[in-house]
Structure 1
Amino acid sequence: MTEAVITGVGAITPIGSTADELWTNLKDGVSGANEIAAFDPERYDLSTSVACEITDFDPTDHDEIDERTTGRFAQFAAVAAIEALEDAGLDPGDECWEPDRVGTSIGTCTGGGLEFFEDTQRMEAGERPRFYSSLVVLSNLAAGTTSIVADARGPNRAPATACAAGTHALTAAADDLHAGRADVMIAGGAEAPILPLLVNGFDSLRAYSTADRPPAEYSRPFDAVRDGLIFGEGAGILVLETRAHAEERGADVLATLAGSGMTADAHHPIRPSGDGLVRAMENALEDAELTPEAVDHVNAHATSTPKGDAVEAAAIRDVLGDDVPPVTAFKGHLGHSFGAAGALEAVIATRTIQHGYVPGTRNHYETDCDIPVVGHGAGFETDVNAVLSNSAGFGGTNGSILLEGPP
């Protein structure tokens, strides 16, 4: 089978506007959590007011972006994609660029929900919505905008499978390479979900943290006193190529997307059974032709909800047995960025392989889950060749990918 290799990564997050900044601040245990600035929580009578926002982003700083026709999530995707292409040593302006052989696959959950909210407010105030209101709300605009910025005319899609969308987008991109539909895929996820309705909705489900502690200590993956997630925003984009294409142009291969698995719980829309995630991990291992013992590190979904983290921990142990390798989760640093989460975690997994370093899990001090979670500030250097990364979402959707280091 044609191998799908990763040759470039890009990211924009609450703790770094590039992949390198993200990695450095992740290792240093930096949190992006703070009081919500996007809107006034008191106006909407919210019982929580904390999220991980990107506070220093200005689309006018980027000439490639037309802010009139793009929503915030699509702008994030385009900026991260530009970085990923540069990291891969690819330039759409080069004579050797073959646009028909380059595709985009970028997932999202809420899409242009922010712009929908803003234009609804305008109408309620007696104003006209923006001219491109019917465009900027579309979920495919991250993939569409990126295809325009990168002159990518091959496969184009936008999975909307909730919090597994970024992982599913990467899986679909690899499938495009395997099937010969493209030589290069720009893939990942993007999200801007910090909206009153969503915050209040998750609070109503008792899934949003309402802890009485500093914002940076709210999200606590796998920790014994976790009480819920907090939202985050941003984008993670990876450049995937066939190995033959990467080698032909002399590109540095950062990692291989060696296997993937996608499943449904078929159980309940918001209560994970664990069975679906077990099968997704098993399928990823089988696809990569690896045994559980070959996994060096698990990059967990772990949203910090009491039930969700416990179910995932049990699923990990079910698949990997008694000798589970070190597990890390990153939503204590970044919040939960829905459809971007799996893609950002793939960026982090790639850096983990590159640098031989397993970061700690922010705000994890004492576990009630029977897996070896790398605690707060306890990151360490080690050889990492195979990373299993999980995603799961409402509706009972699951995705797992297996990243391997270059040979």
Structure 2
Amino acid sequence: MNTPISIASIGSISPLGSSNEVIWNNYLKESHLFTAKEFNGRTYWIAPLSNEDKEAIEVLRTSDGKYNRLDESVLYAIAASRKAVQNAGWAKNKDFGINIGSSRGATGLFEKYHKQFMDTKNTPTPASPTTTLGNISSWVAHDLGTQGPEISHSITCSTALHALLNGVAWLRGGMAEKFLVGGSEAPLTDFTIAQMQALKIYADSENPSHELAGPFDTARGKFGHSYPSRAFDLDKKKNSMILGEGAATICLQKGIHENTLAVIEGVGYATEPLEHNVSISADAECFQRSMNMALGKNKPETVDVIVMHAPGTIKGDSTEFNAIKKVFCNKLPFLTTNKWKVGHTFGASGMLNVELAILMLLHQQAIKVPFVTYDTTPEKIGRIMVNAVGFGGNAVSILLRAPNIEP
């Protein structure tokens, strides 16, 4: 990339928390952030926001009469964007672009209005404007008072990283100097979870605990923790995806500055031809192409860590791992994921992966998946690759490097 593009700040709200300190402390713990939910006599797992952050969202909702009817996906995006812009020092600068996407959009509101229509054959006036995908970036732009372009889109689970691609393209094309990009998702509705269960990829609700998990406790003679999502467990026999909610946004700007958290050294993308609903080959050819494109002229061995997409499904985890082996051969980087802890947040997941990558760069500590055996752990972390892919085989890979590392 000819023009250095840097990440000036990040803001997020998720089951991990909403402040960098709380989020990092949660990553240092080996416990997951799932809770059980009852529906129609069955129990299934979800990863919701903390009670404290839910209360903060309610405060935001009631702070302005116009916000009272917004979907949680929009409110999450506003909360995350306020933090990112404040941390970047952009609060007084209104001339920046916004691209925030979502896989599902205003799921909760759409279901609410649809039920109302089925019951009464009528729907209120706000039903249409408050359930469009364009709703997210438009309301964030309104909240921040920006004058730049605002874009919303849906490219399933790689949505947030596609927003990052768009931001980089605008900056490199000279059409903007700064861009706020990210993803937001509020999918913890019964209908959304039922869709994932229909695909037979959701964590087993009949036996959700998967007791053979976690570090082995020799004193007690059994495993110490229960991990409902077995993301990046390549030996699992059942799919174990669990949904989470949240939003994450980052501030992109040209050049490397005093506040730079990470430099975007390479971007890659690829799409596989549609052959079925998921459309990803056994060796994830889309990931092979996106990772090779992101590497550019960098040698594979210069990458210290890969934050995998790893949704917790048998095929999703194994195909991505196969692609990594094809690209990195016998010298695999340290591999990790956060979905065993925080679940799959659909369109926001890629940017939460970026957040994990930034925190590992800042703290110079690799976060392990507790039920995965690691031969080595990197002593220094200079470059991290972040992956995301969604239904349709639309993969994105982003190569980040610490600002003090020479290109």
Shift of 1:128: 5.4
Aligned-partner residue type, residue 24 of structure 2: W
After TM superposition, the structure 1 stretch with the greater mean CA deviation from structure 2, 206-215 or 141-150, is: 206-215
- The DSSP-based 3-state class of the residue aligned with 1:358 is coil
Q: CA deviation at 1:373?
A: 8.6
Aligned residue for 2:89?
A: 89
| Matched-pair identity in % | 24
Give the residue type in structure 2 aligned to 1:181. M
* Cα deviation digits, residues 207-242 of structure 1 (max 9, x gap): 111151439621111212252201111011111111
- Please, what TM-score do these two structures have when normalized by structure 2? 0.87
Q: CA deviation at 1:121?
A: 2.2
Change (3 A) 1:311 1:87: same
Deviation at 1:129, TM superposition (A): 4.0
Tell me, yes or no, if the aligned pair for 1:11 and 1:22 is still in contact at 8 Å.
no
TM-superposed deviation, 1:83: 0.8
Q: In structure 2, give the amino acid aligned to 1:54.
A: L
List runs of 5+ in structure 2 lacking aligned partners: 211-225
Q: Is residue 294 of structure 1 aligned with residue 326 of structure 2?
A: no
2:387 matched to which residue of 1?
390
How big is each residue's C-alpha offset from its partner over 1:68-111, in whole Å with a ceiling of 9 and x where there is no partner? 352111110110111111221221xx3xx2x3x30001121000
CA 1:205–1:2 in structure 2 vs 1: closer, same or farther (change >3 Å)? same
SS of the equivalent of 2:183 reads: strand
CA distance in 1, matches of 2:287, 2:372: 25
Q: Is the 8 A contact 1:32 1:52 kept in 2?
A: yes
1:341 maps to what in 2? 349
CA distance in 2, matches of 1:88, 1:332: 30
The residue type equivalent to 1:134 in the other structure is S
Describe the superposition over 1:264-295 as per-residue Cα deviations: whole angstroms up to 9, x where unpaired: 01143314110111001011111xx3111110
Q: How many aligned residue pairs are there?
A: 377
Cα distance, 1:64 vs structure 2? 6.8
Deviation, structure 1 residue 143: 1.4
Query: For residue 369 of structure 1, what is the aligned residue in structure 2?
Result: none
Gaps of 5+ in 1: 367-371, 375-379
**Partner residue of 1:71?**
71
**Aligned amino acid, residue 380 of structure 2:** D
Say which SS state the counterpart of residue 217 (structure 1) adopts.
coil
Choose from 105, 129, 133 the match for 2:127.
133
Matched, 1:23 2:21: no
CA RMSD of aligned residues (A): 2.2
Q: What is the aligned counterpart of 1:265 among 266, 272, 282? A: 272
Among 343, 351, 364, the residue aligned to 2:359: 351
Does 102-111 or 134-143 show the bigger shift? Answer: 134-143
What one-letter code is carried by the residue in structure 2 that aligns with 1:25? N
Cα displacement (A) at 1:144: 1.4
**Aligned residue among 259, 262, 266 for 1:252:** 259
Separation (CA, whole Å) in 1 of partners of 2:176 and 2:167 = 9
| Residue aligning to 1:53 | 48
Give the AA of the match of 2:247.
A
Distance between the aligned counterparts of 1:35 and 1:60, measured in 2?
Answer: 22
* Separation in 2, partners of 1:359, 1:190: 24
Distance in 2, Cα, partners of 1:83 & 1:74: 15
- What is the TM-score of this pair, normalised by structure 1? 0.87
- The residue number in structure 2 matching 1:153 is 147
Deviations 1:96-151 (A, max 9, x none): x2x3x300011210001211001122333438544422122111222111111222
